[in-house]
Structure 1
């Protein structure tokens, strides 16, 4: 892949469709990362665009880039203030009994020599809230829409396991790692409000590996019920 798909573009922002497997930061051992594509994303601008937020290496979909430092500061502040609407789709590796709900579990980071680091639910952890609803059930798999209020590390992955009773399909840290070549999580839609300008709004089509498991829906997702 020589060029990353662009989902939104204007004078201060880009939203790209990040492929699964592409890390944001260059790995310590070397290899391809988002950095390899930034020069091609200048699109006439002198400076390289900067990633505003993070997606796990395995996660595909909407990634916001700022085209200059002032825009980066404003967008980062919008994320910090929880003004950004984020919609994810994930395949849960098991049945989900209810149709919708909200998971509010504080998260804390732990590490061990045996398993490395991971996030766990903990009363003393940082607040984390995720709204969810079932989109489709197929055999023993469940396609779930997640709308996180907060942006904690691995939030959706931990909330799926602890709140829904099963990890995301393919997740090697919080699940068995079986059933898929990657953790099946996709950043399907992103909306960033802007003062005096229309919001940044982008949607990323459902990836081929989701469709290969029998899931095929139109993105963007329907808005949550009031």
Structure 2
């Protein structure tokens, strides 16, 4: 990714923080298998500081949208505290196959990490009395629907790995393009994952209004969103 390409994806910038519109399909950091990742291009986001910014949180490889970075230790520390205390307002958009049981609601389903026999892992819904279960809560609201698809706005109150993906599959309306959390023997999806980090609200400065950033939906989600009424809602 060239300097002008990643800089064009900036949604917000000040002395402590950057908010970036992460592209879908690119992991935020390097894995054991190597390959390209977003972090390796942070050198283009120094803007006069001696070191590149650092990740304040994570998004899945296939999730697009708002990603907060700390530009220096002070910014990263403040962001870390906000995320740890649950004071960051996170809004996601998803297009799902099928619809939830109600136009709006709350998914309160504990999650835990399960290691598979093949050496991989996945997140699963666990019973509340499971010692490995982590409290996981997601609020949702239907924004539109059409052609058997539903456009949802989601606000996770907790930040568990794959939380929204597992919660929606548990609700019976998995995300369009979901590669992992589908019923057994389901066909491999042909579409990319339709999950987007739409907005972040960061109360970073005590005497100022919260920082707000909003990322436009990625190109691969536009057709499904329009089928659900996105064009008429802006």
Normalising by the residue count of structure 2, what TM-score does the alignment of the two structures yield? 0.88
Q: Sort the Cα spacing of 1:214 and 1:61 in 2 relative to 1 into closer, same or farther, 3 A.
A: closer
Question: Normalized per residue, which structure has more helix?
Answer: 2
Normalising by the residue count of structure 1, what TM-score does the alignment of the two structures yield? 0.91
- The CA deviation string for residues 174-214 of structure 1, in whole angstroms up to 9 with x for no partner, is 0244141x221000000010223332210000111111225
* Counterpart residue number, 2:153: 145
User: How many angstroms apart in 1 are the aligned matches of 2:157 and 2:190?
Assistant: 28
User: How many angstroms apart in 1 are the aligned matches of 2:214 and 2:37?
Assistant: 22
RMSD, matched Cα: 1.8
Q: Which stretch shows the higher mean deviation, 35-44 or 47-56? A: 35-44
Task: Give matches, 1:52-201, under 5 Å.
Answer: 52-114=56-118, 116-122=120-126, 123=128, 124=130, 125-162=133-170, 164-175=171-182, 176=186, 177-180=188-191, 182-194=192-204, 195-201=206-212
Q: Structure 1 stretches of 5 or more lacking a match?
A: 222-226
Query: How far is the alpha carbon of 1:83 from its aligned partner?
Result: 0.5
**Matching residue within 14, 22, 33 for 2:37:** 33
* Counterpart residue number, 1:6: 10
**Matching residue within 49, 53, 57 for 1:45:** 49
Q: Sort the Cα spacing of 1:31 and 1:167 in 2 relative to 1 into closer, same or farther, 3 A.
A: same
Q: Does the CA contact (< 8 Å) of 1:206 and 1:217 recur in 2?
A: no
Q: Sort the Cα spacing of 1:99 and 1:115 in 2 relative to 1 into closer, same or farther, 3 A.
A: farther
User: How many angstroms apart in 1 are the aligned matches of 2:49 and 2:167?
Assistant: 40
Q: Sort the Cα spacing of 1:114 and 1:140 in 2 relative to 1 into closer, same or farther, 3 A.
A: farther
